[in-house]
Amino acid sequence: MKLLVINGPNLNLLGVREPGIYGTLDYNGMIELVRTECAEAGIETDFYQSNHEGDLVDVIQDARGKFDGIVINPGAYTHTSIAILDALKAVALPAAEVHISDVTKREPFRQISYAGMACCVHVIGQGVAGYGMAARQLAEKIQKGQVC
C-alpha cells in the first residue's frame, strides 16, 4: 500500500508561525511522524508540498499508476480550487482530505471544500496527527475494496 501525501500553500511553514492553530511540529517533523505511523501500519508514504496550484494539479495527475491513494491538505486552495477537485476526479484515485485546524469553526470562507468533494475520507481538526489517521482510514477502505 503506497500513499502520496500532498500539502498545499504555506504548510511548509508548519511550526514556524501560528502554533496556536497549526501546532509546533515543523514540516519535516510532520513528515517523520506520519512516515513512521504509516510504516507501522504497513503503509508506504511519499510526500509533496507546493505553494503553486498548477504544481499540485501536476503531481495529482502524475500519481496515477504510481500510488494506491492520495492524502491531501490543499491548504487555502481547499476553498478555491476547482482545478484540484477536477484533477482528483480525473485520476480517480481514492483520496482523503486532511485539515490540521477545525475549519468548520473558522471563517465563513473556509466552510466550502472543493477538494473534499472528491474525497471519501475527511479528517478535520485533529492537528498533524490527522494525516496518519486519514492515511490509515484510507488504506483500510482501499484494502476492503470500499474505494470512492
SS3 at position 23: coil
Q: What span, in angstroms and rounded, lies between the C-alpha atoms of 121 and 115?
A: 11
> How many whole angstroms separate alpha carbon 71 and alpha carbon 138?
8
Q: Please confirm, yes or no, whether 52 is among the known catalytic residues.
A: no
| 14 sits near ligand CA2 (criterion: CB under 6 A) | yes
Within 103-142, the residues that bind ligand CA2 by CB under 6 A are: 103, 110
Residue given cell 508561525 in the structure block? 17
Toward ligand CA2, which CB reaches closer, 110 or 122?
A: 110
Active site residue 22: yes
**Owner of C-alpha cell 501560528:** 18
Contacts with ligand CA2: how many residues (CB under 6 A)? 17
Query: Shortest Cβ distance from residue 134 to ligand CA2 (Å)?
Result: 11
- Per CB under 6 A, the segment of 7-15, 34-42, 51-59, 81-89 that binds ligand CA2 is 7-15
Q: Which of 48, 99, 114, 131 is catalytic?
A: 99
Helix, strand, or coil (residue 35): helix
Catalytic residue among 22, 77, 114, 131: 22
* Diameter over CA atoms, the chain: 40
Give the distance, in angstroms, between the CA of residue 119 and the centroid of all CA atoms in the same chain: 10
What is the closest distance, in whole angstroms, from the C-beta atom of residue 117 to ligand CA2 in the complex?
15
Alpha helices in 13-116 (DSSP H): 19-22, 27-40, 53-62, 82-91
Q: How far is the CB of 42 from ligand CA2 (least distance, A)?
A: 26
Residues 48-107 that bind ligand CA2 (CB under 6 A): 73, 75-76, 78, 99-101, 103
Catalytic machinery residues: 22, 99
